[in-house]
Amino acid sequence: MQVIPPALERLIIDLTRLPGIGQKTASRLALYLLRRPAAEALHLSTSLAELHASIQLCSRCFAFSENDPCQICEDSRRNDRLVCVVEAPGDLMAIEKTGSFGGVYHILHGVLAPMEGIGPDELKIRELFQRVRTQEIEEILVATSSTVPGEATASYLIDYLAGMPVKVTRLACGIPMGMDIKYADEHTLARAVESRQIIR
Amino acid sequence: MQVIPPALERLIIDLTRLPGIGQKTASRLALYLLRRPAAEALHLSTSLAELHASIQLCSRCFAFSENDPCQICEDSRRNDRLVCVVEAPGDLMAIEKTGSFGGVYHILHGVLAPMEGIGPDELKIRELFQRVRTQEIEEILVATSSTVPGEATASYLIDYLAGMPVKVTRLACGIPMGMDIKYADEHTLARAVESRQIIR
């Protein structure tokens, strides 16, 4: 007995393919769209259809962009001698939102994960070294996540870059702003003590 | 500074319009689709475009269906003298999944919410009474949720149906299967005691 109309079921199946969307959430979303005016589902449909058609990778920094080079790489007010290396486009967006970075980026599109067969060649690491060799870069800010694979990727980059005439920096690790010290986990607290800053 | 490509931003905005999807989840989903082959986003796009085009409301029970009447109403093996009244199509799917109901349905498409201006005329309540008057219905199983608005809607229906020659039943409330009694909330436990069943 087919209880769910096939068109609804197809949408539910497609939605469950998205990360973090299970069967129940997918059903809820699909039924919501069915209850709302058709224009809403069509609008979302159009946005999805246009996504890949109008976005490509910037050939310099590998950010997603509608132009090549991307607007950040093209912007003459930005310091292209300071390159921030991030794992993914979402990290670039998070750093841009802070408004505290005036350099350019290099997106790795992942982290090293030898167990899953992801080595340096699967990421944009070769391209990063190429940029360091061919462009006048003064500083590489390694801004991978402070997770185990993020740290491993950072170590790999830092080791390799040691042989090149470029300053290498890392995002500061420590107590999050506004956090009570007694609630900080011990690894973070240990790192905050080790990286303590001289005030005067 | 436009950091996010417009096509990506449009998709993120459209996704945040969905219930339970915030800014962060929308960004994560959109970036996921961008990283995956274009075919995946296009597939989802097509499913969304086809949703409203191929689904309508069954004119008898008001379920979403690709045919009118829907497959359940059309099925001669089902008992059309037993009508289960539910709030929404998702409830119908949940009951169908159990395989323990052999009657037909009537979907109200909401619950009474006078504060939000949702009265009987905004739901398919008039149509339910019309069915009771014109079809040979023996039993109405009121299967609204055991929430405050669900119970209020049930009370309204039960009061109105009292004047009609039809048996009215309600889903049993009690301890969920497999639950330890000491963890049941007191309202559920009180209801389970009041509705205790005679074994012998």
Q: Is the pLDDT of residue A80 over 60?
A: yes
Report the pLDDT averaged over residues A10-30.
93
Give CA–CA dist A136/A83, Å, rounded. Answer: 11
In chain A, what residues touch B66 (CB-CB under 8 Å)? Answer: 5-7
pLDDT for A83:
95
Same-domain pairing of B93 and B132: yes
Same domain, A46 and A71: no
- How confident is the model over B84-99, as pLDDT tens digits? 999 998 899 888 888 8
* Residue B166 and residue B86 share a domain: yes
**Any domain includes A199:** no
Q: Which residue in B35, B52, B97 is closest to A41 by CB distance?
A: B52
> Cβ contacts (< 8 Å) between A7 and chain B: which residues?
47, 50-51, 53-55, 66
Q: Residue B183: phi, psi to the nearest 5?
A: -95, -5
Task: Tell me how far apart the alpha carbons of residues B1 and B9 are, in angstroms, rounded to a whole number.
Answer: 13
The beta strands (E) that lie in B14-162 are given as 56-57, 64-65, 79-86, 103-107, 139-142
pLDDT digits (tens, 9 = 90+) for B156-179: 999 999 889 999 998 888 888 888
Shortest CA distance from A74: residue in chain B? B1
Residues A49 and A86 in one domain: no
Q: What is the pLDDT of residue A20?
A: 92
A38 and A65 both lie in a single domain: no
Structural domain includes residue B157: yes
Same-domain status, B89 and B48:
no
Give the range of the structural domain holding residue B17, as residue numbers without chain letter.
6-54
Question: How confident is residue A1, by pLDDT bands cut at 50, 70 and 90?
Answer: low
| Total number of domains in chain B | 2
Residue A14 sits at the chain B interface (C-beta within 8 Å): yes
CATH number of the domain at A132, please. 3.40.1360.10
pLDDT > 70: percent of chain A? 99
The residues facing B106 across adjacent strands are: B85
CA nearest A3: which of B70, B141, B51, B110? B70
pLDDT averaged over every residue in chain A: 90
Looking at the structure, tell me whether residues A26 and A67 fall in a common domain: no
Structural domain includes residue A30? yes
pLDDT for B117-137, tens place per residue?
A: 899 999 999 999 999 999 999
- Within 138-197 of A, beta carbons closer than 8 Å to B belong to none
Check whether residue B31 and residue B92 sit in a common domain: no
In terms of CA atoms, which chain B residue is nearest residue A110?
A: B35
Within-domain flag for B89:
yes
The per-residue pLDDT for range A141-200, each reduced to its tens digit, is 999 988 899 999 999 999 999 889 999 998 888 888 888 878 888 888 888 787 787 777
| Residues A30, B42: C-beta atoms closer than 8 Å | no
Q: What is the pLDDT of residues A89-121, one digit of tens each?
A: 888 988 888 888 899 999 999 999 988 889 999
Which residues 60-79 in chain A show a CB within 8 A of chain B? 64-66, 71-72, 75
Alpha-helical regions (H) of chain A: 6-16, 23-35, 38-54, 71-74, 89-98, 125-134, 148-161, 186-194
Q: Do B165 and B83 fall within a single domain?
A: yes
Residue B60 pLDDT: 94
The 10s digit of each residue's pLDDT in B2-55 is: 578 889 999 999 999 999 999 989 999 999 999 899 999 999 999 999 999 989
Give the number of other CB atoms < 10 A from CB of residue A34.
19
State how far residue B3 is from chain A, nearest Cα, in angstroms. Answer: 7
Task: Please tell me which of the candidates A10, A44, A54 has its beta carbon nearest to residue B14.
Answer: A44
What pLDDT score does A106 carry? 96
Q: Does one domain contain both B120 and B160?
A: yes
Flag whether B59 is in a domain. no
Same domain, B97 and B163: yes
Is B193 part of a structural domain of the chain? Answer: no
What is the pLDDT at residue A35?
87
B10 inside domain: yes
| B91 and B48 inside one domain | no
The answer as to whether B185 is a domain residue is no
Query: Which of A46, A48, A100 would best serve as a mutation to test chain B binding (most B beta carbons within 10 A)?
Result: A48
List the CATH number of the domain containing B31. Answer: 1.10.8.420
